[in-house]
Amino acid sequence: MLFAKGFYFYYFCSNGNMMKKIALITGATSGIGRATARILAAHAHDVIITGRRAALLEETGQLIREKTGADVLPLSFDVRDIEQVQAHLGNLRGKWEKVDVLVNNAGLASGLSHIQDGDIEDWEKMIDTNIKGLLYVTRVISPGMVARGSGHIVNIGSIAGKEVYESGNVYCATKHAVDALNKGMRTDLAEHHIRVTAINPGAVETEFSVVRFHGDRQKADKVYEGFTPLYEQDIAEAILFAVTRPPHVNINDMLIMPTAQASTSKTVKKL
């Protein structure tokens, strides 16, 4: 009977148009966020996508519509600015108002240097985006989930939230904060039947390193030289898995590494 119930729910939640959900994915102009928006749109979700690069966001939205037939609402704003977050996400109307799945993905590393040489602007950018931005979006979206007694928040952490590596100091601290917030959110929201999941990737080849090295593509390419990293689709598939479990199942935490990366300090040669 239990199996039958689980199967019934899985079937209706993961298959086709039976129960379309609304997913909000922050940072969907590239990398993990863009792949996640695409895969959720292809699996019974209409999607709200966000990012600062407005033209790229519109283009991404159009592509997702064409490829999946899903409805897409692109909203361009900076997650570091609480007024922009409230203006865009605090005034959702119609079906968009009921966000079922929030993927807190927008984030970045800026710089890589020993603590004594750290650039204050880089530090503020990472803290404001990875911690405060994630909190602002969650603060605006979670009351609706509480009122409805359902919802799923997926926080994109990192191996950098589990380990600390040389020169990664502040980025690692922000992802350790995401790890703590993930647990805190789950604790506070459990009584409202809201699921909270952390997805923690190792090295994924996206725009991440280009951003970390302030646009220096040569330096960025070197990060992925000599081993096979993860690709954005690998993480998107894990997110899809987490959000399509039956409602009595919560994936608390996934740590997903390239096979060639045993830890932040040990990467082996190309498979």
Catalytic positions, written as ranges: 171
Alpha helices per DSSP H over 42-119: 54-68, 82-89
203 part of the interface to ligand 8X3, by CB under 6 A: yes
- Span of 102-110, 140-148, 242-250, 261-269 interacting with ligand NDP by CB under 6 A: 102-110
Binders in 45-64 for ligand 8X3, by CB under 6 A: none
The conformation of residue 81, written as its DSSP 8-state character, comes to: -
CB atoms under 10 Å from CB of 80, counted, come to: 18
Q: Please select the residue that binds ligand 8X3; options are 24, 145, 159, 189, rule is CB under 6 A.
A: 159
Sheet holding 253-256, edge to edge: 72-76, 45-51, 21-25, 101-104, 151-156, 194-201, 253-256
User: For the residues of 168-202, what is the DSSP string, one character each?
Assistant: -HHHHHHHHHHHHHHHHHHHHHGGGTEEEEEEEES
Structural tokens at position 180? 């703590």
Residues contacting ligand NDP: total by CB under 6 A:
28
Residue 264 contacts ligand 8X3 per CB under 6 A: yes
**Can residue 105 be called a binding residue for ligand NDP (CB under 6 A)?**
yes
State the distance between the two ends of the chain, measured CA to CA, in whole angstroms: 44
Which of these ranges, 57-65, 78-86, 88-96, 153-161, lies near ligand 8X3 under the rule CB under 6 A? 153-161
13 near ligand NDP, rule: CB under 6 A: no
Which entry of ligand 8X3, ligand NDP, none binds 107, CB below 5 to 8 A by partner kind? ligand NDP
What whole-number distance in Å separates Cα of residue 124 and Cα of residue 170? 9
Which tokens is 25 given?
């994915």
- State the amino acid at position 199 in one-letter form: I
Nearer to ligand 8X3, 60 or 264 (CB): 264
Q: Is 3 exposed, middle or buried (0-12, 13-18, 19+ CB in 10 A)?
A: exposed
The kind and range of the H/E element at 123 are helix 120-126
Please pick, from the candidates 23, 24, 32, 251, the single residue that binds ligand NDP as defined by CB under 6 A: 32
Q: Residue 168 interacts with ligand 8X3 (CB under 6 A)? A: yes
CA separation for the pair 233, 202 (Å, rounded): 13
Contact flags string 127-146 toward ligand NDP, x per CB under 6 A: --x---x-------------
Binding mask 212-251 for ligand NDP (x = CB under 6 A): ----------------------------------------
State the minimum distance, in angstroms, from the CB of residue 144 to ligand NDP. Answer: 20
**Residue ranges that bind ligand NDP, judged by CB under 6 A:** 27-33, 51-53, 78-80, 105-108, 129, 133, 156, 158, 201, 203-204, 206-208, 211
**Residue ranges that bind ligand 8X3, judged by CB under 6 A:** 158-160, 168, 203, 264
